[in-house]
Amino acid sequence: MAEEKKRQFNKFQLSGNLGADPEYSKEKGYFKFSLPVENNPDEKNGWVQVVLFGDKAHEAAGKNLKKGSYVQITNGRLKVVPWEANGKKGTNVEIVAFDINYFEDQD
């Protein structure tokens, strides 16, 4: 009997304040920003790139997001992105967001 292949599950949720002003490309249809990822108290926090495509990217662009804006990713998936620069190869992990909540700045 053939071994049954188990289905993989890739769903991600994250919330936080944008670490820098976002990058938007209307022509390429993407909107990209970074959010902090907390580590153990004795470790430095890291950052993860979040990217939205198509209609979600255009919607995000209309929200006037900037460094410090608070967002909540309620549905996304992790994506491994290979890179090569100066003869070195590596990978980055980013979140492709499908559902996102926007919150008004509390100035």
> Which CA distances in Å does 106 have to 37, 69, 103?
22, 9, 9
Phi and psi based region of residue 44 (left: phi greater than 0; alpha: psi -120 to 50; beta: remaining): beta
pLDDT value for 95: 93
> Mean pLDDT per 10-residue run, the chain (107 residues)?
67 89 92 86 83 91 90 92 94 91 74
Please tell me the pTM assigned to this model.
0.79
Number of H helices, E strands in the chain: 1, 6
